[in-house]
Amino acid sequence: MNAPNTPVPALPEHNRLGLDYGRPIPRPKVRGIAIDAHVHIHTAPQADVYLATATHYGFTHCLSMSPLEEALRIQRRWGQRVHFIAMPKWRDWGPGFIGEWLKRIEAFYNIGSRMVKFWFAPPAIGDRLWRLDSEQFRPLLREARARGMAILSHFGDPEIWYRTRYADTGKYGTRDDHYRMWENVLEEYRGTPWIAAHLAGNPEDLSRVQRLLDRYPDLHVDCSATRWMIREISCRRDEAREFFIRNQDRIIFGTDIVTAPDRQFDFLASRFYALRKLLETGYIGPSPIFDPDLPEDQQPVMRGLALPDECLQNLYHDNIVRLLARVGARFDECPDVAVEKPVFARQPATAAASP
């Protein structure tokens, strides 16, 4: 019992409802392994925390964007439970960047990676003056295709960011500009397996995403970025449910978790908890995760999709397994998934979070 006038500690932004994320939870209704196909594991020790948390929620395998310098350490400890997505050192984008990226694609390929990440959010276009359809990036795309690798891309960003952070269209261009650039490349690289992150970066306009899926048969989308998905899927729940069911063989599950030293079990668990709640149940109520893009009094109401079991089978397992098979990669479907018991820490996280 608190003494008089003793303030009650504020709940962390990743657990506004005071939930016990460590309670036992049934694994997803999936034949085979459940896979998180979009995660950023930065170090080998952080991989231990992430995989313990993911396993608690039934997800034993993942595709990670990890620094090459850490990937071998992660691979030695976790083997086939982690596949890697080739990426450069994004911050080292001066002279020699393309040549160094080509070397890293080869190095990632040699440790089993069969997918390359291209990040073309508005800051890449406005601040770095990058265009994926330019001659500058052609060697990278050709290298990926020559090696038979799939592509993961990030185009777009939350619509609320386009209205605020990227309001200077003279610098950043418009969303339509960005998607025209992307389609130039999609046309040229038809036949290449392609995943567009975050519902193609535009969950606010599912009709746009549908047109892309209809036009490009090798394109898939993932539903990663927890807060963004909660906000935009919930506010168009019926349309989103129809979209997920219609395209259930083209959508891939991901969390977009970004690991950090101060992100322990509760922070990571909040993403799995919220996304499973959104996709698997008909829950209507407050989100457990604070959305910093909205005022305190306008936090999103989560409206669950209650997707059919066969749809979840595709999202959590079949689609990513089938796509990886096209590029000669596979997960071990019968692994020893024993991990150390996670520390159910309840400390707030301070590192910058993904949307």
**3-state SS string over 312-346?**
HHHHHHHHHHHHHHHCCCCCCCCCCCCCCCCCCCC
If you search the block for the tokens 């829950």, which residue do you land on?
A: 283
Query: What span, in angstroms and rounded, lies between the C-alpha atoms of 230 and 37?
Result: 18
Q: Give the pLDDT confidence score for residue 342 in this predicted structure.
A: 42
What is the pLDDT at residue 334? 63
- 298 burial (CB, 10 Å; 0-12 / 13-18 / 19+) is exposed
| Alpha-carbon span 205 to 175, nearest angstrom | 11
User: Residue ranges per domain, the chain?
Assistant: 34-326
Confidence at residue 83, expressed as pLDDT on a 0 to 100 scale = 98
CB 293 within 8 A of CB 301: no
What is the third-level CATH fold of 34-326? TIM Barrel (3.20.20)
Helices H, strands E: what count in the chain? 15, 11
Two structure tokens written together for 13: 């932004």
The one-letter amino acid at 244:
F
Residue 267's nearest CA partner among 157, 354, 158 is 354
Q: Are 314 and 222 in contact (CB under 8 A)?
A: no
Q: Is the pTM of this model over 0.85?
A: yes
| Contact yes or no for 230/274 (Cβ under 8 A) | yes
User: What is the structure's pLDDT at 7?
Assistant: 53
DSSP strands (E only) in the chain: 34-40, 59-64, 82-84, 115-120, 150-155, 194-196, 219-222, 251-252, 257-258, 284-286, 301-303
Q: For residue 240, give the nearest of 298, 303, 195 by alpha carbon.
A: 303
Vertex 36: Cα angle to 31 and 41 (nearest 5): 150
Residues 19, 34: Cα–Cα separation, whole Å = 23
At residue 116, φ and ψ (nearest 5 deg) are -120, 140
Closest CA to 144 of 97, 174, 189, 180: 189
pLDDT value of position 25: 95
Return the pLDDT at 335.
54
DSSP of 43-98: SHHHHHHHHHHHHHTTEEEEEE---HHHHHHHHHHHGGGEEE-B---TT--STTHH
pLDDT along the chain (355 residues), means of 10: 53 96 96 98 97 98 97 95 94 86 97 97 92 94 98 97 97 97 97 98 98 99 98 98 99 98 97 99 98 95 98 99 97 61 41 44
Output the CA angle 143-198-272, nearest 5 degrees. 115
Measured from the Cβ of residue 45, the count of other Cβ atoms closer than 10 Å reads 15
Token representation of residue 80: 């086939």
